[in-house]
């Protein structure tokens, strides 16, 4: 099998993965569309937690303990309700399709790496970084799905994947080829992998924070209906905690990517570990904003809404670094080979 074969395989796989993501999106849309007419059971989180405790005094399962607020899950003892059942079924279909799409996505990323001679890590330019970064988002979502009951996020995640992959194919595509000499380093593997993982975590965290803001606003205005997407989102406290967890996971990785691996590589490649290169500056800005987020969450008067807004600002700086710097200031940046 030749590199050219892998190259075209990768291109087809990306298209195919996008289609499956779109199908998963449709399934989640159906899930939420149906739920518009079905009111959420009135049991509040506290009640349900109390019920659970009463029902099973032995340790609550080790995997997913005290997060019963993920509303869409139908309690097993509930009376059979066709609507609830089909809502849940569509949700499950959505997740299953996302898993399939994720596997195809993985194959696209791997074959993209094999498509150049010699084979290399598949993130040497912006198209490849987008492809790998969106893969990071899906992986992050699927990994945390069970643990933090994130199925309510499926709609957003699949929509994000479809849109971003489409943009990548339309605007960023470049044929596979060898790396420029500046990227001939194992730090490419370390630095960019860490950046992809952290970006994936921050993207998922930003989704949670955005939904938190939307639901929080609706709650304060009293416009949350008894049915529909917002009603079925977990409570704001759980959204907030999920956002924090994901950010807390991403922040040390980002610190490593931007402030350890990046400078070490820069020291080898450019002769100075910190050059105030636009990309470095913006990575630093992102780091500072997320540091502010972590602090804000522990400060009276800033936690909740303000912290969530800070998290979104952080994600905006991350996106600007990725898109803005590459397109507007690419010429002045030593990271310009990362551009198109």
Partner 1 sequence: MRTTEQQTGAGGASTTPPTPPPAPPTLSPLELARWAWRQLTSMRTALVLLFLLALAAIPGSIVPQENIASADVANFQAAHPTLTPIYEKLGLFSVYDSVWFSAIYLLLMISLVGCIVPRLRVYWRGMRARPPRTPRHLGRLPVSRSFTVEEQPAVVLERARAALRKRRFRVSVDTSPSAAADSVAAERGYLREAGNLLFHVSVLVVLVGFAIGQLFGYKGGVITVVGQGFSNSLSQYDEFSPGSLFQPSNLPPLSFTVKNFHVHYLTSGPQAGQPTDFSAELDYQSAPGEPVQKDRLMVNHPLQIDGADVFLVGHGYAPRVTVRDGRGNIAYQGPVVFLPQDASFESFGVIKVPDAAPQQLGFEGLFLPTYGFTMARGPFSRFPAALKPVMTLLAYHGDLGMDSGRPQSVYDLDKSQMRLFKLPSGRPDRLDMAVGQTKQLPGGGSIRFDGVDHWVKLQISNAPGKGIALAGVLLGILGLLGSLFVRPRRTWVRARREDGRTLVEVAGLDRSAGGDLEGEVDELCRAVEDAAPART
According to DSSP, residue 37 is labeled S
Q: Taking Cα atoms as reference points, which of 238, 261, 265 lies closest to residue 71?
A: 238
Among 280, 288, 294, which Cα is nearest to 246's? 294
Phi, psi for residue 249 in degrees, rounded to 5: -70, -40
d(CA 151, CA 305): 23
128 binds partner 1 (CB under 8 A): no
Measured at the CA of 325, the angle between CA 319 and CA 327, to 5 degrees, comes to 105
Site map 50..69 versus partner 1, x via CB under 8 A: ---x---xxxx-x--xx---
| Comparison of 29 and 259: residue with beta carbon closer to partner 1 | 259
340 lies in the binding site for partner 1 (CB under 8 A) = no
**Between 217 and 303, CB nearer to partner 1:** 303
> Is 291 an interacting residue with respect to partner 1 (CB under 8 A)?
yes
21-50 footprint of partner 1 as x/- string (CB under 8 A): ------------------------------
Could you tell me how many residues of this chain bind partner 1 (CB under 8 A)? 63
Closest to partner 1 by CB, 264 or 323: 264
In the DSSP assignment, the letter for residue 42 is: S
Helices (H) and strands (E) in the chain, counts: 12, 0
Q: What are phi and psi of 271, to 5 degrees?
A: 85, 10
Residues between 223 and 262 with contacts to partner 1, criterion CB under 8 A = 241, 245, 248, 251-252, 255-256, 259-260
Among 146, 298, 327, 340, binds partner 1 (CB under 8 A): 298
The end-to-end CA distance of the chain, in Å, is 27
Burial class (CB in 10 A: 0-12, 13-18, 19+), 247: buried
* Encoded tokens for 203: 């993207």
**According to the binding rule CB under 8 A, does residue 300 interact with partner 1?**
yes
The stretch among 28-36, 131-139, 154-162, 278-286 that binds partner 1 (CB under 8 A) is 278-286
Candidates 83-91, 129-137, 203-211, 293-301 — which segment interacts with partner 1 by CB under 8 A? 293-301
Instruction: Please state the closest distance from residue 166 (CB atom) to partner 1, in A.
Output: 22
- The number of CA neighbours under 13 Å toward the Cβ of 153 is 30
Q: Which residues bind partner 1 (CB under 8 A)?
A: 53, 57-60, 62, 65-66, 174-175, 177-178, 180-182, 184-185, 187, 241, 245, 248, 251-252, 255-256, 259-260, 263-265, 267-278, 281-282, 284-285, 288-289, 291-292, 294-296, 298-303, 317, 325, 329, 332
């Amino acid at each position: 099998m030749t590199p050219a074969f892998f190259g075209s395989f990768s291109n087809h796989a990306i298209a195919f993965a996008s289609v499956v993501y779109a199908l998963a999106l449709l399934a989640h849309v159906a899930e939420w569309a149906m739920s518009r007419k079905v009111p959420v059971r009135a049991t509040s989180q506290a009640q349900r937690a109390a019920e659970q405790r009463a029902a099973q005094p032995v340790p609550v399962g080790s995997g997913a303990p005290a997060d019963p607020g993920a509303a869409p899950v139908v309690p097993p003892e509930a009376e059979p309700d066709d609507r609830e059942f089909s809502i849940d079924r569509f949700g499950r279909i959505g997740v299953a399709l996302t898993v399939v799409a994720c596997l195809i996505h993985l194959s696209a990323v791997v074959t993209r790496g094999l498509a150049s001679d010699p084979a290399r890590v598949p993130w040497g330019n912006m198209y490849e970084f987008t492809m790998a970064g969106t893969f990071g988002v899906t992986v992050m979502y699927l990994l945390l799905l069970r643990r933090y009951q994130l199925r309510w996020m499926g709609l957003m995640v699949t929509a994000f994947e479809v849109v971003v992959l489409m943009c990548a194919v339309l605007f960023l595509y470049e044929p596979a080829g060898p790396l420029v000499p500046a990227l001939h380093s194992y730090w490419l593997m370390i630095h960019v992998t860490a950046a992809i993982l952290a970006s994936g975590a921050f993207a998922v965290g930003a989704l949670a924070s955005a939904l938190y803001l939307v639901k929080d606003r609706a709650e304060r205005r009293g416009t949350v209906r008894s049915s529909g997407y917002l009603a079925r989102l977990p409570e704001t406290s759980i959204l907030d905690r999920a956002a924090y967890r994901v950010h807390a996971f991403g922040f040390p990785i980002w610190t490593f990517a931007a402030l350890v691996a990046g400078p070490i590589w820069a020291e080898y490649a450019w002769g100075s570990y910190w050059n105030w290169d636009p990309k470095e500056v913006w990575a630093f800005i992102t780091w500072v904003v997320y540091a502010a987020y972590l602090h804000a969450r522990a400060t009276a008067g800033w936690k909740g809404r303000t912290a969530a807004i800070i998290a979104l600002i952080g994600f905006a700086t991350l996106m600007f670094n990725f898109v803005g710097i590459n397109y507007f200031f690419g010429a002045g940046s030593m990271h310009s080979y990362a551009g198109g």
